[in-house]
Structure 1
């Protein structure tokens, strides 16, 4: 953390941040004034507003309050005569925000510096934001985004964050997170599709979505492919790209929990990663060469379907109950069976559980690597099942790619019958 630079009690670092932030905002305002002659404020005005805010804080609360009243009065005076109906108060609000951030810089310089950057980005992105809200998003899109926001901010906090039901494996809060993630993947893929086109937007959404749940990402891309068959090839590439994140997370979990198990599984994971890259590149090349994606219609459907997300979470809940029942029935010797059933729902959770068993010497590193491979295989089967949500044209190529990756991992590991 940046230490304060004080000179006779004066926060010099905060003053520098205030002036620098005012300069940053002022540069954007000055460039915009070259074509908007009625714009209030510019380079000098923004720097003065930030400086006044900083000096007011240095002089004390009374001076800061007087400065706020003075700047606020000037802002009101400048924005009061709205002579044109298209005129907005953005410039006046930006000037007052610059003053407030200048005051914040005294004592909270790092936060103020970050907010200065955010303010400048918002001001500079005027055309992009307007185009996004008016041209990219439709009325139905806004309704779906509001539904997703309500699920995140209203429904999810109300779900109990504790285990319920038999075997103590079902957590309503986590299942709710999974539903929201399937919806969010669909929404991100939809926005990427609208902003960057089918070839780039969906693949980027697939890669980032895979870091939370590759299965949910595949299900979300399947929904997108079913909603718009013209985008099927790009959705296939995005679904396969999510597998990269799964392998990376697998390696990271083992590195933290059981490094010895990671060593035993290193070469199979590397082979699976290389195979994943090959199938992803092949899918992307196939998507780029497809005429269907190139001429995709402008009607991209809806960002997500709530009923599909709920059905997917229900399947995961059943899989978790089955894994717990197997482990309870078979006992410690059921580690492989439990890993298989647990991996069917979440390969990362299964990997974490197996890694902890290896860390406590319950399993040898080789046995742990074999159990994780079994969990990965079960999860691949579940992802193939999730791919069928997009129809045969989507599900078959995705399943073929996942099977190829899984076969390489098993062949390189050379699975042997478990020995206890």
Structure 2
């Protein structure tokens, strides 16, 4: 049998050269790195790492040290002559040597080096964007984010990874892991919104708002519409889009927690997403082409909301297990509806986990997740009526009502 092409040493050397060239081109274009090392030097770093790993693997630590020492001296000279004290290029150079070594280590190492090399290049080229984002984040947000990340990484390893009787069978580490996952998902969208700017378009306002918090988006849009009734068309579009984005978000959570359930849930939620997009498109073309309305979204890396979600998730998990034992499928559905009114993430993760453990059937988990999503969708319509205007409430209710009815029809049929 022929060996996989990536096992060819020549190909791996070419991959190492390509990774080094990619990083080197970026560094040569950078004002701070181009004079120190660029498009010629970085490929050489990668080739050195690959060759040493391929033929003299035991000498790799010595090689890295031998390269690091003259690099440090050269960079010290750069600091003296140019006054640049940044360590980015020096760090990238050492990392390039290690990436080159990875390409020669194994097939998995080569694939890993390609992925990491791409990430490193993007990270290096995104310097203005990253610095701009940091400048936009105030001190309070920065401290809140650091506190949350610290708590997540410190607490997670010490939590027991087993079901505890004192917690009525809950697995503390699983609960906290879900807290970090959901919050991290929201933070990615939050950062994207800060980098791109929601003012770029009302579609982006709704999409980012839906991934961070569709409820917060709905409340913000409804309140702004009450202040300026003429904004009801733009606001209704943003609310509808934010509500629809909730469905792909739920599918992403299911794919992480219980991939085997995804093929069943993707049908009803996929139909709801598709119909929702069509309706949102109609609403968009009927709306005026005014600038987007900003949403009041807060940094999701905050400890109190995360703890609140953890408590909600734990309660929903316990209630769902008890409801299934006491009332069967109907208990699951009732719990899904009531939980969905408050938070669709909790019931989605709960039913995915229960189905993975064999406590409920795939059909019950699918129906429960759809019921929770519909309940949360209808709650958005209620908020539009309660906090917004009649026109806003009517338009949002018609759009989300159609989506909900179709979702129920798909599940029933």
TM-score, normalised relative to structure 2: 0.69
CA shift for structure 1 position 75: 0.7
Which residue matches 2:275? 275
The alpha-carbon distance between structure 1 residues 339 and 100, as it changes in their structure 2 partners (threshold 3 A), is: same
1:328 corresponds, among 317, 322, 325, to: 325
Which residue matches 1:13? 11
Which residue matches 1:364? none
Asked if residue 244 in structure 1 is aligned to residue 247 in structure 2, the reply is: yes
1:28 corresponds, among 22, 26, 30, to: 26
Which residue matches 1:154? 154
The alpha-carbon distance between structure 1 residues 301 and 106, as it changes in their structure 2 partners (threshold 3 A), is: closer
User: Deviation string for 1:35-82 (max 9, x for gaps)?
Assistant: 669721222222222233333334525764554444223212211131
Which residue matches 2:68? 72
Asked if residue 205 in structure 1 is aligned to residue 208 in structure 2, the reply is: yes
Task: Say if 2:46 and 2:96, in contact at 8 Å, map to a contact too.
Answer: yes
Task: Say if 2:20 and 2:42, in contact at 8 Å, map to a contact too.
Answer: yes
TM-score, normalised relative to structure 1: 0.68
User: CA–CA distance in 2 between the matches of 1:55 and 1:25?
Assistant: 19
User: CA–CA distance in 2 between the matches of 1:243 and 1:407?
Assistant: 16
Task: Say if 2:33 and 2:89, in contact at 8 Å, map to a contact too.
Answer: no
Asked if residue 110 in structure 1 is aligned to residue 105 in structure 2, the reply is: no
The alpha-carbon distance between structure 1 residues 352 and 29, as it changes in their structure 2 partners (threshold 3 A), is: closer
User: CA–CA distance in 2 between the matches of 1:130 and 1:66?
Assistant: 35
Task: Say if 1:4 and 1:13, in contact at 8 Å, map to a contact too.
Answer: yes
The alpha-carbon distance between structure 1 residues 63 and 219, as it changes in their structure 2 partners (threshold 3 A), is: same
The alpha-carbon distance between structure 1 residues 143 and 221, as it changes in their structure 2 partners (threshold 3 A), is: farther
Which residue matches 2:125? 124
User: CA–CA distance in 2 between the matches of 1:389 and 1:309?
Assistant: 23
The alpha-carbon distance between structure 1 residues 410 and 340, as it changes in their structure 2 partners (threshold 3 A), is: same
Asked if residue 341 in structure 1 is aligned to residue 335 in structure 2, the reply is: yes
Task: Say if 1:377 and 1:406, in contact at 8 Å, map to a contact too.
Answer: no
Task: Say if 2:46 and 2:99, in contact at 8 Å, map to a contact too.
Answer: yes
User: CA–CA distance in 2 between the matches of 1:62 and 1:167?
Assistant: 50
User: CA–CA distance in 1 between the matches of 2:387 and 2:169?
Assistant: 33
CA shift for structure 1 position 122: 2.8
User: CA–CA distance in 1 between the matches of 2:381 and 2:155?
Assistant: 28
1:47 corresponds, among 29, 43, 51, to: 43
CA shift for structure 1 position 412: 6.4
Task: Say if 2:276 and 2:399, in contact at 8 Å, map to a contact too.
Answer: yes
The alpha-carbon distance between structure 1 residues 318 and 226, as it changes in their structure 2 partners (threshold 3 A), is: farther
Q: How does 1:229-240 map to 2 (within 5 A)?
A: 236-240=239-243
CA shift for structure 1 position 245: 1.8
Q: Give the match's secondary structure for 2:176.
A: helix
Task: Say if 1:175 and 1:317, in contact at 8 Å, map to a contact too.
Answer: yes
In our comparison, the structure showing a higher alpha carbon Rg is 1
User: CA–CA distance in 2 between the matches of 1:2 and 1:75?
Assistant: 36
Q: How does 1:77-226 map to 2 (within 5 A)?
A: 77-81=73-77, 82-83=79-80, 84-107=82-105, 108-134=109-135, 136-164=136-164, 168=168, 170-181=170-181, 183-198=183-198, 199-205=202-208, 209=211, 217-219=213-215, 221=217
User: Deviation string for 1:271-315 (max 9, x for gaps)?
Assistant: 64443223443565688745561xx49x86544664444445444
The alpha-carbon distance between structure 1 residues 280 and 85, as it changes in their structure 2 partners (threshold 3 A), is: same
Moved more, 17-26 or 375-384: 375-384
User: CA–CA distance in 2 between the matches of 1:225 and 1:310?
Assistant: 26
CA shift for structure 1 position 160: 3.7
User: CA–CA distance in 2 between the matches of 1:122 and 1:237?
Assistant: 34
Task: Say if 1:227 and 1:301, in contact at 8 Å, map to a contact too.
Answer: no
Which residue matches 1:409? 407
Task: Say if 2:26 and 2:125, in contact at 8 Å, map to a contact too.
Answer: yes
Which residue matches 1:380? 374
Task: Say if 1:13 and 1:109, in contact at 8 Å, map to a contact too.
Answer: no
Gaps of 5+ in 1: 210-215, 361-367, 416-420
Task: Say if 1:247 and 1:273, in contact at 8 Å, map to a contact too.
Answer: no
CA RMSD of aligned residues (A): 4.8
User: Deviation string for 1:154-184 (max 9, x for gaps)?
Assistant: 2334444444569956444444345445544
Task: Say if 2:50 and 2:103, in contact at 8 Å, map to a contact too.
Answer: yes
User: CA–CA distance in 2 between the matches of 1:402 and 1:254?
Assistant: 27
